[in-house]
C-alpha cells in the first residue's frame, strides 16, 4: 500500500501474506488464510481493526489496542474464510472507519504430503494423492515422499513452508534432463509452493492447460527455503525440467 501523509486520518499502512511475506494491495486476491496487517495513527491513541465478511462485522484487534510511540500498530490475522473481506480502521466501536480496504481469499486447496505414507517411485511409476498425481515423464531420477528429517543436509523445518513429509527429487545421472510432471485433479488458476535445493542451473516450470503450454517460469533455489508462485488460466498440470537438480518441495497451494 502507498503511504499517505501523516496529517491525514489513521490509515492502513501495509499488509502481507503470512508466512511468505508477499505484499498485498487492495483489492488483491490471495491464497493465504493468514495475513499480517499494519496501520499508522496518532501515537498512544486507541484503535480497532474490523473485518466484514458475508455481512457480519467482527473486531480483530485485541481489547485496548493502541498505536505505539511511533504511531504504528501491526497484528497477525489467522484463519480467514474464503470470500471477500472488508477491513476497517476506527478509533472505537462508536466511530466510522477512517480507512477501509478489501481482500478476497480465494478457493484454496493444498497438499503438504503429511497425510501420505513415505514412498519412492522411478520412471514408469507414480505417486497419487487426493489432489494430484506425480510421475517422472522422462529422465533418470527417483521421486520420493519422505520425512524432512531423513533427507541429507536438510534445511531447518519451518512450519507452513517445509516440515514433516516433503516431496524430494533425486537425480541419478548428472547429464540427463529429468521431467517431473504434477497433474492436478481439477483446473487451477494459481499455484504456489516452497522449495529448497542447491543445483538449479536452467531448472524451469512449464504450465499446461487442456490446449497445451500456457507459459513457464524459472525455478531458482537459494541457501534458504524459497517461495515459488505462478498464475495462468485453467492449469491442468506442470512439468519441472532440470538437469542434476536435487530439490525438495512442500506446501503446494492451489487457487481454482
pLDDT tens, 34-65? 899 999 999 999 999 999 999 999 999 999 99
The cell numbers describing 237, all together, are 498440470
Antiparallel, parallel or unpaired: β 72-77 and 141-147: unpaired
Pairwise CA distance, residues 205 & 62, whole Å = 43
Per-residue confidence (pLDDT) for residue 255, from 0 to 100: 83
Query: So what's the pLDDT on residue 6?
Result: 45
Which CA distances in Å does 52 have to 2, 13, 103? Answer: 23, 19, 11
Sequence spans of domains, the chain: 11-106, 109-255
As a whole number of angstroms, the distance between CA 12 and CA 28 comes to 15
| Domain 109-255 bears CATH identifier 2.60.120.200 | yes
Q: pLDDT, tens digit, for every residue of 233-256?
A: 999 999 999 999 999 999 999 887
Question: DSSP labels for 22-38?
Answer: -B--TT-EES-S-EEEE
Q: Residue 200's pLDDT is what?
A: 63
- The segments of the chain whose pLDDT lies below 70 read 1-8, 108, 198-201
What was the pLDDT predicted at 218? 94
Task: Match domain 11-106 to its CATH number in 3.40.190.10, 2.40.110.10, 3.40.50.360, 2.60.40.10.
Answer: 2.60.40.10
Round to whole Å and give the CA distance between 40 and 21: 19
What pLDDT score was predicted for residue 8? Answer: 66
Residues ≥6 apart with Cβ < 8 Å to 136: 121, 122, 123, 124, 125, 143, 178, 179, 180, 181
Strands 83-90 and 99-105 come out as antiparallel
Amino acid at each position: 500500500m502507498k503511504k499517505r501523509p501523516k496529517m491525514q486520518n489513521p490509515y492502513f499502512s501495509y499488509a502481507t501474506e503470512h508466512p511468505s511475506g508477499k505484499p498485498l494491495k487492495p483489492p488483491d486476491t490471495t491464497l493465504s488464510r493468514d495475513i499480517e496487517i499494519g496501520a499508522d495513527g496518532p501515537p498512544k491513541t486507541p484503535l480497532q481493526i474490523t473485518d466484514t465478511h458475508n455481512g457480519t462485522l467482527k473486531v480483530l484487534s485485541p481489547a485496548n489496542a493502541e498505536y505505539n510511540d511511533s504511531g504504528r500498530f501491526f497484528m497477525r490475522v489467522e484463519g480467514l474464510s474464503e470470500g471477500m473481506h472488508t477491513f476497517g480502521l476506527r478509533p472505537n466501536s462508536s466511530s466510522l472507519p477512517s480507512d477501509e480496504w478489501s481482500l478476497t481469499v480465494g478457493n484454496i486447496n493444498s497438499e503438504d504430503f503429511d497425510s501420505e505414507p513415505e514412498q519412492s517411485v522411478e520412471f514408469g511409476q507414480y505417486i497419487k494423492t487426493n489432489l494430484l498425481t506425480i510421475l517422472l515423464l522422462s529422465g533418470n531420477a527417483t521421486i520420493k515422499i519422505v520425512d524432512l528429517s531423513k533427507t541429507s543436509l536438510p534445511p531447518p523445518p519451518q512450519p507452513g513452508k517445509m516440515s514433516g513429509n516433503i516431496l524430494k527429487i533425486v537425480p541419478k545421472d548428472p547429464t540427463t534432463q529429468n521431467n517431473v510432471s504434477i497433474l492436478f485433479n481439477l483446473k487451477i488458476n494459481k499455484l504456489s509452493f516452497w522449495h529448497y535445493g542447491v543445483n538449479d542451473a536452467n531448472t524451469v516450470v512449464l504450465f499446461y492447460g487442456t490446449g497445451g503450454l500456457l507459459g513457464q517460469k524459472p525455478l531458482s533455489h537459494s541457501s534458504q527455503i524459497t517461495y515459488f508462485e505462478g498464475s495462468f488460466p485453467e492449469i491442468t498440470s506442470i512439468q519441472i525440467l532440470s538437469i542434476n537438480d536435487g530439490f525438495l518441495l512442500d506446501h503446494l497451494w492451489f487457487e481454482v
